[in-house]
Structure 1
Amino acid sequence: MAAQQYKITGMVCASCAQTIERAVSQLPGVNEANVNLAAERMQVQFSDQALSPAQIIQAVVHAGYGAELAQELTQESAQRERQVKHHALQHQRNVVVTTLIIAAVLMYVAMAGDLHLPTLPWLNHMQFPVTTAVVELLLVLPILWLGRDYLLAGGKALVRWHPNMDSLVLVGTGTAFVDSLVNLGLMMATGRPQALYFEASGMILALIMLGKYFEALSKQKTTASLTSLLTLIPQTASQLMPDGSVREVAVKTLQVGDRVLVKSGQTIPVDGQVLTGQTTVDESMLTGESMPITKLAGDPVVGGSLNKNGQITYEATHVGSDTALAHIVKLVTDAQGSKAPIAKLADRVSGVFVPVIMAIAVVGALAWLLSGQSLAFSLTIFVSVLVIACPCALGLATPTAIMVGTGKGAQNGILFKNSTALEQLAQVKTVVLDKTGTITKGTPEVTTVLLQPGASQKRVLQLAASLEYYSDHPLATAVIEANEAQRVPVDDFTTHPGLGVTGQVDGQLVLVGNAQLMAQSQLDTSGLAVSQLTDQGNAVIYVAYAQQVLGVIGVMDPVKDDSRQAVAQLQQQGLKVVMLTGDNAQTARTIARQVGITDVISDVLPDGKAQAIAQLQQQQAVAMVGDGINDAPALVQAQVGVAIGNGTDVAVDCADVILMNSDLSSLVTARRLSQQTMTNIKENLFWAFFYNVLGIPVALGALYLFGGPLLNPMIAAAAMGFSSVTVVLNALRLNRFKERTNRKDEVKMKQVAVEGMMCDGCAQTVTEKLSTVVSDVNVDLAGKRATFNGDATLEQLNATLAETPYSVKAN
């Protein structure tokens, strides 16, 4: 099954989109066809064995519209499309201005006598009716010529029995023009004045052209968020040559393996891995997190991110369409081309809207004519109904909001794979969170070391790391990274499954493991207050040397900095928050308490996670948030699967929404954006329907029945044109969407990560040192971070810690 996007030309309203969708959907092998009126794109899923792109294009052409395969959205293609649209808008503006000037002159000629305005004697329609009528005809002809594209398109749609908005315009203006032309002939034959509608015909077309121009101008802004991502990539890059020289090359010529130099203040051109240098990088374009991230040798860098204050060289690992930014753009483009379930209502209505309106216009005009009104009166009714009921606003209501919403999400590091996910995220009532890597950081860390009297923390970590170096236990890495001393040689290393490891160091037996291992060796552990570690959710590792327990190491997967706040905000939104984990009940409850979750499902195997989601779905709609391979079945089962961006490829592939950073606060932002987008769509649909429900009776003469005025067709044309503009402008309000989470970067260096802390004494030392330059210092040993009030820089903070083994970095 292949999926392709096509650029569509010639569409003017929702009926056009419906016609194209029907024509393509009838082709053998087509699974689904979605037309986005606002983006002028069609997304087709089809069997490439049964159908070719040329056949799809041919079907669109037979339906009366133009189609071509959409180019891959790159910086160059976006620039070309912007230039084409810019020139098209300039031409459209010039045509509209010319048309309005001629229409204004036509209106003056037609109305000057009735309004007693000064005019040339031979243009007085009371004295020289034929001369005035001929002048009006000569003025309306160029207007019809300038608006011929609308009239011809409407005629083609009528011939194919798929009438659209242009068909209504053609019938309305054409009826007024032909009737006026017939009356002009009668005037020339009889010399008696007759009713003329040349000015109505010309002004209707002019006002519709003006409305379509403003609509095109507004629609161009709906893609601003997406195209702004494309402009992040620079045009050139500094490539390091094998001989050590630097050469400026076009970014599109870079290949995987090329070395690139990036100086302070420059934008990183493609994805890669740092070889030399150190810097901080702003990756807000990718993750929505504007706090700069430190990059050292071996760290990945992303094309489009901004190098802040250092110089690095790196090796290109992904270029062109394989970069992270290119993948983001493709995901957003696909989402904008998909159709939300809420759009189906508008589709069903617009599919029969135009024929129904034409029938209403005919019936209304005949009813007035049969009631005794003049032909002129009935003609006014007919034209007004046709013009005011054009379904442009109805067709733009959903796609414009979807385009702006998904684009805004991408700017905030939130990728919606399709518009269905955008809609359903607003409807979920339960959010299920995986623990490891979602609520917690996913990488265990040594949080505390408890010592027996006379024992050294440095020695305990050294012995433990020396043995764990040969172990494949998940906690081994945390112990090894916490050790700052050189490892010692180990002899007779032995693994004891479920217990720990043992070995010989300097001829003495070393044991590193759980309490059961110590008990088997008859070692006394009673002097250590281990319960305070287990109560906090730590896994404990005892370390014994020469038949003496030296201490115990507490290892824990710490909670992310923003998890508690994000959970609270989700609960404030009225959501039920559930933790779902394969960990044991005690650890799960401990972590849940730390973040404020009361509903916990623990000891669940991967296939059991999907079953747990299914049970919750029996009560209400569920969103599942995870990052691992074991979360994939649950992500698929949930109404909305949400993947943490730094998770596994399997989780990302199975999810409907991707949070490009690892913060749960992005989930809060994603749901708020989803809710505001759906509210915006409902507002658009309401006004589109309300406009027609109110406008059609007025055009039929409802006010006239009660002594009010009759709707002038020219006013109807103006109202119809600006109804579409109103819908697009309402969708553009989503561009004002802002995050409300209290992100770390909203204050100036208020929180930093602290490296090197192992015990309460370490935290006390860091607190005392930092308090010399900032105030209200609070050091979190478990989370390894410090918060404070003050404007000290990282350099100033590290200067105060210069004589200690501790240091701080951006959190």
Structure 2
Amino acid sequence: MSDEKQTGHDHHHNDHHSQSGGHHGGHDHSHMVSDFKQRFYISVAVTIPILLLSPMIQQFLNIDLAFPFDQYVLFALATFVFFYGGWPFLKGIIDEVKDKSPGMMTLIGLAIIVAYGYSSFVVFGWPGKDFFWELATLIDIMLLGHWIEMKSVMGASNALQELVKLMPDTAHRIGEDGKDEEVKISELKAGDHVLVKPGEKMPVDGVILEGQSAIDESMLTGESVPVEKAKNDEVIGGSINKEGSLTIEVKHTGEDTYLSNVITLVQEAQESKSKAQDLANRAAKWLFYIALAAGFLTLFTWLGLGFTFDTSLERMVTVMIIACPHALGLAAPLVTAVSTSLSAKKGLLIRNRTPFESARKLDAVIFDKTGTLTKGEFGVTDIIPVEGEENEAILQYAASVEQHSEHPLATGILNKAKEEELDLEPVEDFSSMTGKGLRGRVAGKDIFVVSPGYVRDEGIAYDEEAFDRMASEGKTVVFVLVQGELAGMIALADMIRDSAKETIATLKERNIDSIMVTGDNKQVAHWVAKQLDMDEVYAEVLPDHKADQVKSIQADGRKVAMTGDGVNDAPALATADLGIAIGSGTDVAVETADIVLVKSNPKDILSIIDLSRNTYRKMVQNLWWAAGYNILAIPLAAGILAPIGIVLSPAVGAVLMSISTVVVAINARMLTAD
């Protein structure tokens, strides 16, 4: 990796080990789910005696359970439900009023405060009927709605801990005497010398003093091929040393490391993600204003018509309580719960609901290349033999030598040999020439599988035109030498997923732009984009600039989804309107995303868009059912038909409310994924 790729990380720092804000507070989230569950169960238990003690319910059921001071017992039970069950809503009012944005909490809060306040006055002598049963059932249903909703919004994010986990805990520090000792990472200082053995992770950012090796940076940068590094090259903390032992000088520790910068970017993006009000909240906001206006209009109208203050107030209270729809509290959560379980069956894990619901409005889908559009593993695309040589023989020689190598290119060659059902010969005198290739004796012949650099250094002639053509397509070419003579070239490339072609073709039909943003080089990126017929390509994008690229595409006014699988994608996933992680990717990408594709199939992006559209449609239907009942019930409760003797009694209002809730529940169950 060039030096410029290591610069430009001078973002401001904050405590990366603290949980980020917004919707990503993991522990708090699970605590809130269990809190709503507990409040719901306890409130339901206390509601049963409240219903039995309520005169209105006794009248409705034609039973008589009266006993001395029964109204005071009723008041005590209702007071418990009001303060214990209603607490989240009472607290929610304060938050919404502070934000000057009344929503569901304010609407529920208004109804329960009016019901509790008025009913308490009635118990202590005010003429009228109490609404304690209405208060208790409203709190129960709203607690149930919130509990369902929070359970189905799957867990907040542990992205920051996952990022921190990428760093090893210890390092081998080389002392004055040249011996290495194991120390905690936190004890390292800039200028220390550290030994990194094959297979270990780089403990910190640094510069190689001795040794050379192939370094796997794919987790961090998305670069699919391990990068050959030698003396004076920079290394990134968290990347994996594949082959040789390295001595590195520590450059950055702690908060100055590349990985810490990525953590900062993720944190900032998560915190700045808008907490969009969902549909039900917007409906609740309007109903709140309608309830207030209708309540006071009812009070003054009845007073103006000459009725007593008690009667007028009872009408006002009835209107304000009926204005809070029980069904509205369940309209969105029930659809959410059904869509979450439907999506899970299809291999889509919805982690953050608001962006998922807006997926129906997407204008562009950004794909990372490696591991998303491609499999992230090499496959053989071409074998070019020199005259007189056979493809099979070249592949057999190369695979026989490569069977002892861990390199991704070796895996690609071995997979091709397996596909062709070739028998591999045993290899003798095997050795790895770091940065140049491999050698070994196969069937009594010296076989070299080497890089273009080795062939040039040795002055061996080869078909430069074929080589340049393959290199310009971004393919990696290795040369196979038999007894010092060139036998042929094998070209390998990161294999494109078949499902990626279908996905991009379907997105085109829907007028959704497909965009590739990758850290890989331009030739590779353009070759892949051409195969897939993509709309836009941005190559050689530095990891910390991916999020900026997302922002610049959003700046055109486009709604953007980002699909990725590496650590380098995490800030971009958090910045996009919808972050989609490929399930086979790193834990960090998965933790930062709004949706995870468990099957790692890009076609599932189409399922997300379909399910989002269907979910939204069901929600709108449910909200109309829920609010529609109220739009009809409010004028009836206000007494618009009183002149002809029809006044909606609270008991009839309760029955209508129950029917509305059942309709909403049935409608939610009818949601389909297609």
How far 1:139 sits from its partner (Å)? 8.8
Contact 2:366 2:514 (C-alpha < 8 Å) held by counterparts: yes
Does 2:530 correspond to 1:615? no
Equivalences for residues 99-498 of structure 1 within 5 A: 106=59, 138=66, 149-150=77-78, 153-154=81-82, 164-170=110-116, 201=129, 341-343=276-278, 346=281, 353=288, 357=291, 361=295, 364-373=298-307, 378=312, 381-390=315-324, 392-451=326-385, 455-465=389-399, 468=402, 474-483=408-417, 484-490=423-429, 494=433
Q: TM-score, normalised by structure 1?
A: 0.51
1:252-279 C-alpha deviation (Å, 9 max, x unpaired)? xxxxxxxxxxxxxxxxxxxxxxxxxxxx
Q: Does the 8 Å CA contact 1:581/1:602 hold for their aligned counterparts?
A: yes
Q: Does 1:568 align with 2:529?
A: no
**Deviation of residue 395 (structure 1)?**
4.7
CA separation in 2, counterparts of 1:141 and 1:411? 54
Alpha-carbon spacing, 1:492–1:369, altered in 2? closer, same or farther (3 Å) = closer
Q: Which residue of 1 aligns with 2:98?
A: none
- For the residues of structure 2 that align with 1:636 and 1:370, how far apart are their CA atoms? 57
Aligned mates of 1:492, 1:403 — CA distance in 2 = 58
Counterpart secondary structure, 2:375: coil
Structure 2 letter corresponding to 1:597: M
CA contact 2:365–2:560 (8 Å) conserved in 1? yes
Write the distance in 2 (CA, Å) between the matches of 1:496 and 1:43. Answer: 47
CA distance in 1, matches of 2:623, 2:316: 26
> Take 1:339 and 1:406, find their aligned partners in 2: how far apart are those partners?
22
Match of residue 294 from structure 1: none
Within-5 A mapping of 1:759-798? none
Secondary structure of the residue aligned to 1:658 is strand
Tell me by how many angstroms 1:431 deviates. 0.8
1:486 maps to a residue whose letter is E
After TM superposition, give the deviation of residue 429 of structure 1 in Å.
1.9
Specify the alignment match of 2:488 in structure 1: 551
Q: Go from structure 1 to structure 2 and tell me whether the alpha carbon gap of 1:450 and 1:339 turns closer, same or farther (over 3 Å shift).
A: closer
Structure 1 residues 524 and 494, CA, compared in 2 at 3 Å: closer, same or farther? same
For 1:438 and 1:723, the matched residues in 2 are separated by 45
2:593 corresponds, among 643, 652, 655, to 655
Q: Does 1:642 align with 2:604?
A: no
Instruction: Tell me the alpha carbon deviations over residues 756-810 of structure 1, each in whole angstroms, 9 at most, x when there is no partner.
Output: xxxxxxxxxxxxxxxxxxxxxxxxxxxxxxxxxxxxxxxxxxxxxxxxxxxxxxx
Aligned-partner Cα distance in 1 for 2:457–2:322: 87
Equivalent residue letter for 1:445: G
Task: Verify the 8 A CA contact 2:365 2:563 in the aligned structure 1.
Answer: yes
SS in 2 for 1:489: strand
* Residues 518, 365 of structure 1: alpha-carbon distance in 2 compared, 3 angstrom cutoff: closer
Specify the SS of the correspondent of 1:567: helix
Match of 2:175 in 1: none
Determine the structure 1 residue equivalent to 2:634. Answer: 696
Equivalenced residue count is 518
* C-alpha separation in 1, matches of 2:351 and 2:620: 21
| Structure-1 residue corresponding to 2:31 | 70
Q: For the residues of structure 2 that align with 1:390 and 1:651, how far apart are their CA atoms?
A: 41
**Within 1, Cα distance between the matches of 2:435 and 2:320?**
85
Offset at 1:535?
9.5
1:137-156 Cα offsets, whole Å, 9 max, x none, are 95998688568633665599
In the TM superposition, residue 728 of structure 1 has moved relative to its aligned partner by 5.2
Distance in 2, matches of 1:600 and 1:363, equals 60
Tell me which amino acid in the other structure corresponds to 2:113.
S
C-alpha deviations, 1:258-316, integer Å up to 9, x for none? xxxxxxxxxxxxxxxxxxxxxxxxxxxxxxxxxxxxxxxxxxxxxxxxxxxxxxxxxxx
**Residue in 2 that maps onto 1:626:** 564
Residue of 655, 669, 674 corresponding to 1:733: 669
SS at match of 1:558: strand
Note the C-alpha offset of 1:496: 6.7
| Structure 1: gaps spanning 5 or more residues | 4-28, 35-40, 46-68, 110-134, 183-196, 228-334, 741-811
Tell me what 1:309 maps to.
Answer: none
Alignment CA distance shift 1:614-1:88 (3 Å) = closer
Deviation digits for residues 308-357 of structure 1 (CA, Å, limit 9, x no counterpart) = xxxxxxxxxxxxxxxxxxxxxxxxxxx9xx99521498389669949x95
Relative to structure 1, the CA distance from residue 714 to residue 151 in structure 2 (aligned partners, 3 Å threshold; closer, same or farther) is farther
Whole-Å separation in 2 of the counterparts to 1:545 and 1:342: 68
SS of 1:455's equivalent in the other structure is coil
Q: Contact 2:348–2:604 (CA<8 Å) still a contact in 1?
A: yes
Alpha-carbon offset, residue 664 of structure 1: 1.1
**1:163-204 superposed Cα distances (whole Å, 9 cap, x missing partner):** 64333334565677788x96xxxxxxxxxxxxxx7xxx48x6
Does the 8 Å CA contact 1:466/1:490 hold for their aligned counterparts?
Answer: no
Q: Which amino acid aligns with 2:303?
A: L
1:670 corresponds to which residue?
A: 608
**In 2, Cα distance between the equivalents of 1:594 and 1:635?**
25
- RMSD of the alignment, in Å? 5.5
Query: Which is greater in Rg?
Result: 1
Tell me the amino acid that sits aligned with residue 596 of structure 2. Answer: I
Residue 387 of structure 1 aligns with an amino acid whose one-letter code is I
Deviation at 1:656, TM superposition (A): 3.5
Q: How far is the alpha carbon of 1:618 from its aligned partner?
A: 1.3
Q: Hey, what does 1:191 align to over in structure 2? A: none
Give the distance between the partners of 1:654 and 1:210, measured in 2 at CA.
Answer: 38
Give CA deviations for 1:9-59 in whole Å, capped at 9, x if unaligned: xxxxxxxxxxxxxxxxxxxx999799xxxxxx99859xxxxxxxxxxxxxx
> Which residue does the alignment assign to 1:582?
519
| Equivalence map 1:31-42=2 (5 Å) | none
Q: Tell me how far apart the structure 2 counterparts of residues 398 and 456 of structure 1 sit (CA, whole Å).
A: 65
CA apart distance, 1:581: 2.5
The answer (yes or no) to whether the contact 1:447–1:554 under 8 Å persists in 2 is yes
Q: Deviations over 1:580-617 (max 9, x none)?
A: 22344444334334434232223433344334323212
Deviation at 1:547, TM superposition (A): 5.9
Q: Is the 8 A contact 1:211 1:722 kept in 2?
A: no
Deviation of 1:572 after TM superposition, in Å, equals 4.1
